[in-house]
Amino acid sequence: MRVAVIGVGRMGSRHADNFAKGAVPGAQLGAVCDIDPEVRAKAERKWRVNAYADFRDLIDSGDAEAVVVATPHYSHVEICKYALEHGLHTLVEKPIAVTAKDAAELISAADKHRDAIFAIMYNQRTNPLYAQAKRLVESGRLGKIIRADFTVTDWYRSQYYYDMNGWRASWSGEGGGTLINQCVHQLDLLQWILGMPQDVACKCRTVGRNITTENDVTALFGYGDFDCSFRASTHELPGVNRLEIAGTKGLLTVTRGMLTAKLLRMDESEINARSRRDYGNKEDKKYRTVRKFYGIGNYLCDAFYGQQCRVLRAFVAAAEKRDPDLLVARGEEGMGALSLINAMNMSAWTGAREAIPVDADAYAAALAEKIEQERAQSPKQ
């Protein structure tokens, strides 16, 4: 299968490299597209494939049966819609779109063209530790969930990173900051493992960077029976990465490289009922510890090909067999994290707890206002 990459900047060029060097079985690089003439010239020299300036020309050319879209966020919907409507299998980089309103439009277009496979690049889902966490929660081994906390402050980004491309960390260019760019991965994991929360209260700050969007987030998601705290930033060093989920039958933690689950023999309610001691019976409180490591094989694979390559491989396999069940994540699954992000931004702007999902039109209007303000005051423009 010939796969084309649209947008061959930092991420797209890594995808193109993987296709070109045969790291994705059954696929070869068919063509590339980029609006930047220098990038196109370099791409033609490097990969010896056609390099188009306009995504429509590439899609109409017949050079590819599938595309990977790795352009800045606002262009995802238009490009993916065009590709799907022309029968090309389409893998979109995260986020699916900037607003839930636009994402819904794309998902509805994909629905009408089910002959083409539609997928999203949620490479963090290929981390076996998060997959194991999901299995433990869904199997009921942790009991009823009573608390969750996710802290991700180890995805450091310098001012140099923000200055590399004008679209980064702006409302007009990117549609947000750390929430829509980095946290989209962890927010996807959160809703993948725990399901969608009902509401959120969120506070955003900009710390130590000349950007107009947030790089520091504190949020509390309401799940009805329990709350989940979410803390993320991209300015802290050395930073921490820790998911913790407590249930009535145990405690689960995932840190970089390791999952630890402490599994009780009985539910806490039973321990409480049986207890004739103030701090609970020692014997009843005993637990079994299960550990899982990320593993050298995964570290090596990430070092050679990048974690994203596993998503590329699943995408090509799904496209070849016309079987979306082989995907790491279907395109429409991009809506979950985006809904959370839209609600978190809305809460940060209004200062109020917001229901999830927020009204899509109201969010689009509030974002348009943010862009207006940015254009009037932006330190970047």
Task: Candidates 5, 59, 67, 73: give the one binding ligand NAD (CB under 6 A).
Answer: 73
Instruction: Assess 331 for contact with ligand NAD (CB under 6 A).
Output: no
Q: In Å, what is the CA distance from 158 to each residue of 153, 164, 234, 256?
A: 13, 10, 8, 21
Residue closer to ligand NAD by CB (options 73, 235) is 73
Say how many residues touch ligand NAD, by CB under 6 A: 25
Task: Candidates 71, 186, 191, 213: give the one binding ligand NAD (CB under 6 A).
Answer: 71
- Give me the least distance between CB of 299 and ligand NAD, in Å please: 16
Residue closer to ligand NAD by CB (options 162, 261) is 162
Q: Which residues pair with 290 in a beta bridge?
A: 261
Whether the Cβ atoms of residue 184 and residue 338 lie closer than 8 Å to each other: yes
Distance of alpha carbon 94 from alpha carbon 224, whole angstroms: 28
Closest by CA to 156, choosing from 240, 256, 72, is: 240
Residues 103-122 that bind ligand NAD (CB under 6 A): 121
Instruction: Assess 67 for contact with ligand NAD (CB under 6 A).
Output: no
Residue closer to ligand NAD by CB (options 174, 354) is 174
- Give me the least distance between CB of 74 and ligand NAD, in Å please: 9
Task: Candidates 6, 66, 341, 356: give the one binding ligand NAD (CB under 6 A).
Answer: 6
Instruction: Assess 343 for contact with ligand NAD (CB under 6 A).
Output: no
Which region, judged by CB under 6 A, interacts with ligand NAD, from 3-11, 141-149, 230-238, 257-265?
A: 3-11
Whether the Cβ atoms of residue 330 and residue 118 lie closer than 8 Å to each other: yes
- Give me the least distance between CB of 75 and ligand NAD, in Å please: 4
Q: Which residues pair with 261 in a beta bridge?
A: 252, 290
Instruction: Assess 334 for contact with ligand NAD (CB under 6 A).
Output: no
Task: Candidates 31, 33, 344, 366: give the one binding ligand NAD (CB under 6 A).
Answer: 33
Which residue's CB atom is positioned nearest to ligand NAD? 9
Instruction: Assess 178 for contact with ligand NAD (CB under 6 A).
Output: no
Tokens of 17: 């490299």
Burial of 48 (0-12, 13-18, 19+ CB in 10 A): exposed
Binding mask 294-323 for ligand NAD (x = CB under 6 A): --------------x---------------
Whether the Cβ atoms of residue 3 and residue 30 lie closer than 8 Å to each other: yes
First to last CA, the chain: 42
Residues 151-170 that bind ligand NAD (CB under 6 A): 165
Per-position DSSP letters for 6-21, written without gaps between them? E--SHHHHHHHHHHHT
- Residue 376, classed as helix, strand or coil, is helix
Distance of alpha carbon 36 from alpha carbon 10, whole angstroms: 13
Residue closer to ligand NAD by CB (options 90, 197) is 90
Instruction: Map 209-220 to HEC letters.
Output: CCCCCCCEEEEE
- Residue 51, classed as helix, strand or coil, is strand
Residues 82-101 that bind ligand NAD (CB under 6 A): 93-94
Instruction: Assess 236 for contact with ligand NAD (CB under 6 A).
Output: no
Task: Candidates 4, 27, 39, 329: give the one binding ligand NAD (CB under 6 A).
Answer: 39
Count, in order, helices (H) and strands (E) of the chain: 14, 15
Per-position DSSP letters for 238-285, written without gaps between them? S--EEEEEEETTEEEEEETTEEEEEEESS-HHHHHHH--STT--TTTT
Task: Candidates 75, 206, 229, 260: give the one binding ligand NAD (CB under 6 A).
Answer: 75
Q: Return phi, psi of residue 345, to 5°.
A: -60, -45
Q: Which residues pair with 3 in a beta bridge?
A: 29, 66
Residue closer to ligand NAD by CB (options 8, 232) is 8
- Residue 98, classed as helix, strand or coil, is coil
Task: Candidates 36, 60, 111, 138: give the one binding ligand NAD (CB under 6 A).
Answer: 36
- Give me the least distance between CB of 334 and ligand NAD, in Å please: 11
Which region, judged by CB under 6 A, interacts with ligand NAD, from 2-10, 223-231, 241-249, 329-337?
A: 2-10
Peptide bond into 357 cis (omega under 30): yes
* Residues of this chain that bind ligand NAD (CB under 6 A): 6-12, 33-36, 39, 55, 70-73, 75, 93-94, 121, 123, 165, 181, 308
